[in-house]
Amino acid sequence: MIRNIILDFGKVLVDYDFDIFFRRYVPDENRRKQFVPILYNDGLTPVVDRGEKPFEEIVDDLIAENPEFEPELRIFSEHYPDLITGEIPGMKNLLVKLKSEGFKLYGLSNWCSKVYITMDQYDIFKLLDGYIVSSEVHKIKPEPDIYQCLFERFNLKPEECVFADDKEENVEASIKVGMPAIVFKNAEQFETELRKLL
């Protein structure tokens, strides 16, 4: 019997848009093309999400390696929460409904320590009964350890949970550790697939 709904944050509870962010703060297209790969690459993203160093220290390291982009890196650090464009349409109402039906709601997200600014800005996070953030536990999805961390912290049985994530690899990892999961596309699609499992 499903008792708990586990939710990713980005693209499930709140939306983000790197393109809008960088067009706003780095309007020169050629400079933007050079700058963006410094921040978003397969080597750096896991380091940031895992919280191997404080966020500000990671930015300082990037500035040391790329001094010509110090202004843009400072802007990125200072305005990081502006990546978020708002709550995912329909999700707050759905979560309120699920809570009223007796389900517990938990978060499981890969995010740096700046996530807490976003969590303070959007009411949808107040609906959660608890959460695991990768940078806090120094583990990231789709590694099985972060799912086990969730189960242990909140005394959850994986078979009594359903996980929603927009990334297929994280959903597949969830299923491998015994927790049913749904690839999230939008609130309506998620509720339709969720109801089939309940």
Helix residue spans in the chain (DSSP H): 18-25, 29-39, 44-50, 55-65, 70-79, 91-100, 115-121, 134-137, 144-154, 168-176, 187-197
pLDDT band at 41 (very low <50, low <70, confident <90, very high): confident
Q: State the DSSP H helix or E strand holding residue 86, giving kind and residue range, or none if neither.
A: strand 84-87
Tens-place pLDDT, residues 126-146: 999 999 999 999 999 999 999
pLDDT > 90? residue 42: no
Q: What is the pLDDT of residue 75?
A: 93
Give the lowest-confidence range in 34-38, 104-108, 160-164, 186-190.
Answer: 34-38
Mean pLDDT of the chain: 96
Query: Can you give the pLDDT at residue 147?
Result: 98
Burial of 41 (0-12, 13-18, 19+ CB in 10 A): exposed
Give pLDDT, residue 43: 87
Q: pLDDT tens, 65-120?
A: 999 999 999 999 999 999 999 999 999 999 999 999 999 999 999 999 999 999 99
What pLDDT sits at residue 80?
93
CA-to-CA separations, 64 to 60, 86, 144, in angstroms, rounded: 6, 33, 34
What pTM was estimated for this model as a whole?
0.95
pLDDT, tens only, 3-22: 999 999 999 999 999 899 99
The tokens for 55 are 């966020």
Q: Which two tokens stand for residue 66?
A: 């790329």
Looking at residue 1, its pLDDT comes to 94
> What's the whole-number mean pLDDT along residues 34-54?
91
CATH class of 4-15+86-197: alpha beta
State yes or no: pLDDT of 163 exceeds 90.
yes
pLDDT exceeds 90 at position 26: yes
pLDDT, tens digit, 9 for 90 and up, residues 166-177: 999 999 999 999
